[in-house]
Amino acid sequence: MWIDSEEALRALYGPAGEASLAKEVPALTPQYRALVEASPFCVLATSGPGGLDATPRGDPPGFIRVLDDTTLLIPDRRGNNRIDSLLNVVRDPRVALLILVPGVAETLRVNGRGRITTDPSLLEPSAMDGKVPVTGLVVSIESVYFQCAKALVRARLWDPAAQRDRADLPTPGEMLKGAKAGFDAEAYDKALPARLAASLY
């Protein structure tokens, strides 16, 4: 059976608890700011005419810079030049962030609107290895709240005993070969470590 109305869905789950509603605010609290500044990783979600996109962003803790209580800046590091997320932001400024801190089961959710900047005064503090990012995503916060620990606890995300051996799963080259017949997976995987090290920043 498919659920196709808000009323039917609400009937299954009931009302949200007081704490679930109270935690959502329009600006960073000191406690939420602490999570942002401790995080080395987030997932950026965007929307555009071509569809939805969710992409990882990562750097040393503090890479998501707090410009003020309602504004964040995320540097855009070197990638594959698809720029799916940035193209979406140009077309539709709505963005969402899921911010994680290793070892912490709670996550932080941010909803807002993004703009892409090339302002050197904003980007230069985000330089790594002497390289200033080409652009940065400035996020104007509209709502922010923490997500409880249940999902990460169920997933055992930070439990070392739950981690998989990388050798048990397909390599990047093998995944590319699965998408493109005849792709040289072995050569790609052999060159990958050096290519990754040379292109981080």
Model confidence pLDDT, tens digit, residues 78-92: 888 999 999 999 999
* Residue 122 scores a pLDDT above 90: yes
Tell me the two tokens of residue 39.
Answer: 């995080």
d(CA 107, CA 87): 26
The answer on 181 and 96 residing in a single domain is no
pLDDT over 70, % of the chain:
100
Q: Decide if 67 contacts 29 (C-beta within 8 A).
A: no
Residue 23 lies in a domain: yes
Amino acid letter for position 160:
P
Whether residue 22 is found in the same domain as residue 40: yes
116 shares a domain with 173: no
Above pLDDT 90, what percent of the chain? 96
Flag whether 24 is in a domain.
yes
Q: Using alpha carbons only, how large is the chain's radius of gyration in Å?
A: 20
Residue 174's contacts (CB-CB under 8 Å, 6 or more residues apart) are 185, 189
pLDDT in tens, 110-119: 999 999 999 9
Q: Is the pLDDT confidence value at 158 over 90?
A: yes
- Domain of 177 in residue numbering reads as 164-199
Mean pLDDT along residues 144-168? 97
Does a structural domain hold residue 140? yes
Average pLDDT over residues 132-157: 98
Q: Is residue 1 part of a domain?
A: no
What is the mean pLDDT of the segment spanning 134-143?
98
Residue 78: predicted pLDDT: 87
DSSP string, 107-159: EEEEEEEEEEE--HHHHGGG-BTTB--SEEEEEEEEEEEEEPSHHHHHHTTT-
Range 126-138 average pLDDT: 97
- pTM, two decimal places: 0.95
pLDDT band per the 50, 70, 90 thresholds, residue 14: confident
Q: Tell whether 108 and 25 lie within a shared domain.
A: yes
Instruction: Tell me the per-residue pLDDT of 51-78, one tens digit each, with 9 for 90 and over.
Output: 999 999 999 999 999 999 999 999 999 8
168/124 same-domain check: no
* Number of domains observed in the structure of the chain: 2
pLDDT of residue 9: 95
Report the candidate in 144, 134, 142 with the shortest Cα–Cα distance to residue 75: 134
Question: What average pLDDT does the chain have?
Answer: 96
